Structure 1
Amino acid sequence: MEPTSVVHSPGFAHHGVAWSPFYDNRIAIAASANYGLIGNGRLQIVSLVRTYSWLHSFETQDALFDLSWSEIHENQLVTAGGDGSIRLWDITLSEHPIRVWREHTREVYGVHWSNVNKGIFCSASWDGTVRIWTPERMHSMQAIPAHQTCIYQACFSPHEADVLASCSTDGSVRIFDLRAPSNLPHPAPAVSIQAHSGEVLSLDWNKWQPYTLATGSVDRLIRVWDTRMVKSRDNNTGAICIKELGGHEYAVRKVQWGNFAPDLLASASYDMSCRIWTIATPPGMPSLKAIYDKHTEFVVGCAWSLNDPAVLASCSWDCRTHVWRALM
């Protein structure tokens, strides 16, 4: 299994990759000098027509850990910064962002644009809060104290506009319904899952099955959850683990469901591999479909193509993003 394109930016470890929802062959990469520990960040926009070519590159004074394309404007996207900032960029304009928000007090590690309510996006920070934003406002619309520890990722449900989930260093996943009663300052979690014994680094909603969520953890496991509320033994709301996927040798840094099939899941790991799984196998049968091991450092991000159901992009601390055919 060989990459069809390799995007290399020496000196800048790649932290996140995202496909444009408007252009089939355009990706954006969030990158950082010195693995994000200290130094500059870089946002890179790449065209993958025939071979790859740089379209735009934007420098920042601190690391960039994540990014998300706008769902309403073809040339705009947001980035998550190590200095606690969120930046909105227009790739047709100058080298400066068109808006900067600085409400978070620690690193912003995740951003996600809703593809149901396309006018909003959320951010997840190590300050323990998830915030809801719209490009038209100078301040956040809502701040949710989702966890008492660092939050790695938050993402909106692709099925319900007011539902989002977050994951944290405390090993939990919390699901919020933003339609909280008006007398409450912020929504309480509708479902709280003690998902793993270690930090939960990533989560993703299944695009086809409304109540299905996948999580990846430092315990090297991927778990798939049915998030419909059930009563657990201690009378707390929870969820049912319907599949556990083991095989990675180190922490699972990223999970992402396929866009064209309900059973396919991709994962990226500190073991320097990406893996493709299916949850459709009967109990006792192997779920692993493919292993991609062409990176030479931690693989920290992966994203399925929005146009070709077999193509995946993976990004790594080896300063490279690979685009490869995950399914033959």
Structure 2
Amino acid sequence: MLEFRTQGFNGYSVKYSPFFDSRIAVAASANFGLVGNGRVYILGLTPNGIVAEKYFDTQDSLFDTTWSETNEHQLLTAGGDGSVKLFDINLSEFPVQSWTEHAREVFSVHWNLVSKDTFLSSSWDGTIKIWNPNTANSLTTLPTHSCTYSAQFSPHSPTILSSVSSDSHLRIFDLRTPASASNHLTLNIPIHTPPKPRMGAAAPVGIPPSEALTHDWNKYRDTIIATAGVDRLIRTFDIRAPAQGPIAVLAGHEYAVRRITWSPHLSDILLSASYDMTCRVWTDGSAMGAGGPAKQENMLEAQNMILGGGREMGRMGRHTEFVTGVDWCLFGAEGWCASTGWDERVLVWDCRAIMQ
């Protein structure tokens, strides 16, 4: 396990470069993000440990970061002052572009993984904005009418994106649809809808809605999305059958789940980071049996099996404060990941060492 100290700054987000297996970015904030400056670190993984290649300071807290998909030297930051900034690590300490349309804190930024020519930001002001890095103004604004903690483009389509918000809803937008009336909204799924009972079983008790803080698209099954948040549960949904409720419910975290991410290598594995100071590895149960991962066309039929088949596979408890960011390495062996938290630490570790 490798470790780096973000002295004086509390980590919020960590992201591996999509171009280099030895480079990661960390967005951090002074004073736990309540007041003060922000800093984004560009860290290199070397034979002698983790070294800071460069860092940029900002006047307000930073809550998220993401790498450009077109330029290996550029990355975005999400700021507490409502700004989105683009930095180039080959240039000086100032951003090469800054956008300030959001009225409140920006809590997530995400680059379009398919078309690669746009990115999005989501904010506490109840909107998602879509941008082109070469234009001064946003291309589209999508209202969610609630504090939007997490938004992403689908890794399978350049026009589909999703979000989760403080009102406990998973929203799906398709930019190919008419903008009028629905503002491109195609699905609005209540996250806390209880799953359908198995045949002969009593109906499950509903859970009061609570804030959804994070979500992620499955990299191999293009209709599967995982969500998590304040109620400590990780849920997976198949957006082809939103009325069915969650197809897997993963319980175990003792406090809110701050970040989840599906493995880029295995279709049933996801990683979570929580305020209970742990990172945990899970299977959603879809790879049960000798046949390997469930095929997409069989997902709905396999729903009852999956609901009871997910489980925790291991946990990493080396952090000493809230864990707020976690990410997988896209390259090499399938277990390497990085995490960061409010303990001013970045840890790089192999989750295969903790999986059972």
Q: Could you state the TM-score of these two structures normalised by the residue count of structure 1?
A: 0.94
- Are 2:185 and 1:189 equivalent residues in the alignment? yes
Which residue of the partner structure matches residue 32 of structure 1?
A: 29
SS in structure 2 of the partner of residue 176 of structure 1: strand
Which residue of the partner structure matches residue 208 of structure 1?
A: 220
Q: CA deviation at 1:90?
A: 0.3
Deviations 1:78-98 (A, max 9, x none): 000000000000000000000
Matches within 5 A, 1:120-269: 120-145=118-143, 147-181=144-178, 184=180, 187-196=183-192, 197-230=209-242, 232=243, 240-269=245-274
Larger radius of gyration: 2
Q: Distance in 2 between matches of 1:48 and 1:116?
A: 27
Task: Provide closer, same or farther for how the CA distance between residues 131 and 285 of structure 1 changes in structure 2, counting only shifts above 3 A.
Answer: closer
Which residue of the partner structure matches residue 281 of structure 2?
A: 276
Matches within 5 A, 1:111-126: 111-126=109-124
- Runs (4+) off by over 4 Å: 281-286
Which residue of the partner structure matches residue 311 of structure 1?
A: 336
Q: CA deviation at 1:181?
A: 2.0
Q: CA deviation at 1:11?
A: 1.1
Q: CA deviation at 1:119?
A: 0.8
Q: CA deviation at 1:188?
A: 3.6
**Superposition CA RMSD, Å:** 1.3
SS in structure 1 of the partner of residue 32 of structure 2: helix
Deviations 1:184-213 (A, max 9, x none): 277342111111321000000000000000
Deviations 1:22-52 (A, max 9, x none): 1111000000000000000001000012111
The farther-off stretch of 300-309 and 68-77 is 300-309
Q: CA deviation at 1:229?
A: 4.5
Q: Could you state the TM-score of these two structures normalised by the residue count of structure 2?
A: 0.86
SS in structure 2 of the partner of residue 272 of structure 1: coil
Q: Distance in 1 between matches of 2:178 and 2:329?
A: 38
| One-letter identity of the residue aligned with 2:188 | S
SS in structure 1 of the partner of residue 12 of structure 2: strand
Q: Distance in 1 between matches of 2:125 and 2:309?
A: 41
- Are 2:347 and 1:322 equivalent residues in the alignment? yes
Deviations 1:268-317 (A, max 9, x none): 10000000001124564561111100000000111011113111111100
| One-letter identity of the residue aligned with 1:289 | M
8 Å CA contact 2:248–2:310 kept in 1: the answer is: no
Q: CA deviation at 1:180?
A: 2.3
Q: Distance in 1 between matches of 2:15 and 2:90?
A: 18
Q: Distance in 1 between matches of 2:176 and 2:135?
A: 20
Which residue of the partner structure matches residue 235 of structure 1?
A: none
SS in structure 2 of the partner of residue 62 of structure 1: coil
Which residue of the partner structure matches residue 103 of structure 1?
A: 101
| One-letter identity of the residue aligned with 1:222 | I
Q: Distance in 1 between matches of 2:112 and 2:80?
A: 22
Q: CA deviation at 1:155?
A: 0.2
Deviations 1:1-34 (A, max 9, x none): xxx2111012100000000011111000000000
Q: Distance in 2 between matches of 1:285 and 1:254?
A: 22
By percentage of residues, which structure has more helix? 2
SS in structure 2 of the partner of residue 54 of structure 1: strand
Which residue of the partner structure matches residue 236 of structure 1?
A: none
8 Å CA contact 1:169–1:200 kept in 2: the answer is: yes
Which residue of the partner structure matches residue 52 of structure 1?
A: 50
- Determine what percentage of the aligned residue pairs are the same residue: 47
SS in structure 2 of the partner of residue 48 of structure 1: strand
The gaps in structure 1 that reach 5 residues or longer are 233-238
The farther-off stretch of 273-282 and 290-299 is 273-282
Q: CA deviation at 1:240?
A: 3.4
8 Å CA contact 1:226–1:242 kept in 2: the answer is: yes
By percentage of residues, which structure has more strand? 1
